[in-house]
Structure 1
């Protein structure tokens, strides 16, 4: 169980690194006239993602969930893959990537990295969805996996993605 605690702690550290990058990028965007959309849904997103990490630990600890190698190792591979995809998205978007929804008028849509194909407008959310079920299942925390997946789906589909689509629609159509 100690190694799972370390994995969750490392994931929390990764989230802190994201917030540092996001704050720097928000300053960049606002300095260029960036406009923020959907400010009200950001606190629930933070609470949900923080809750994921805490619930992973709580479920494993309080219910004595076992590590099942046939499930845990493939889920760990998915967690690592989701992190790689997340940071590929961050690198591709550069200073425009943010945990908030901030757009700078006049900038073309990014068409590099995982955004180059166009058929998947939000590849970072693929990483979020995969990590959301895989991280708990590394140590068979299936209640957390189901709860996060359902709550995240509601938040993404009903709130976040429509907000981002509205923000993206405000940009001039173009490609980098």
Structure 2
């Protein structure tokens, strides 16, 4: 598909490549209880790149910053993505106002500080679909954290009228 589309639309071909990387990660990399932290963060970056492309016609600033070396640590797969998805779902989706999503990962001495901040749009009417599909993501992540990282994490959620921020401070294990 990539090569067939590349000749006609290079941007679409790039999106297919990024999407296939996300799917490959979901299918082949997440079947073990722990994954290399650098792979998990690469997954987050691929997701952000897809969102950048999807929202390129809107006034949405998407930033990612990483400090420290994640290559020697491991984490439960797909633990962080819910925070990022929520930032887009509740921050950038459906608004025509300028918006932003900032993601940062700071790795030092066996600790990951993962922070996601997004703008909060002016109150939009909640559609019937949103009412039926929302509200379980953060609760599920909290339950996973309680089960897998009991007493080894802190989750702080801060909301104002214009921003929403989630900060996860978690002890990550060294790769075997």
Give the TM interval when normalised to the shorter protein. Answer: 0.3 to 0.5
Give the structure with the larger helix fraction.
1
Give the structure with the larger strand fraction.
2
Structure scoring higher RCO (CA < 8 A, sep ≥ 6) equals: 1
When normalised by structure 1's length, the TM-score is 0.34
